[in-house]
Amino acid sequence: MSDILKHVDVQVHCQQCGDFIVSADVIAESQRMLEEGCPGSPYECTPELYATLLDRSLLEKLALSWQAVERSARKQGTSVQVASRLKLDITLSSSEKERRNTP
């Protein structure tokens, strides 16, 4: 099975940090790290930032839905592939940036 989250790019627009792209699988991994006890830091720890970009349950639902599509295709003797990367566009609001920078 392929990991659909590796095919989802999240473009983040931030007036403080600039624009950057992060893969949804990195966001999911960051959420897992924090859940498992990574202390994080809003000033230095990338997982602390990435984990907040998308709701964890939505990432999980996307991954589970893709797995269901792959299973269904296999049952029919076919296969499915991701033809191109999905791109999500996020602009961080100034209130969101302030919340993250508050100790």
Q: What are the sequence ranges of the domains in the chain?
A: 4-100
Please calculate the CA angle 34-15-6 and round it to the nearest 5 degrees: 45
Alpha-carbon distance of 39 to 20, in angstroms, equals 24
Q: Which two tokens stand for residue 40?
A: 């994080």
> Is a pLDDT exceeding 80 seen at residue 100?
no
Give me the helices (H) in the chain, please. 24-35, 46-50, 56-75, 94-100
> Is a pLDDT exceeding 80 seen at residue 88?
yes
Each residue's pLDDT tens digit, 7-36:
999 998 888 778 889 999 999 998 998 888
| Phi, psi dihedrals of residue 22, rounded to the nearest 5° | -135, 140
Each residue's pLDDT tens digit, 42-86:
555 677 778 888 899 999 999 999 999 999 999 999 989 888 888
pLDDT at 43: 59
| pTM metric for this prediction | 0.71
pLDDT at 40: 66
pLDDT at 51: 86
Which has the higher per-residue pLDDT, 75 or 39? 75
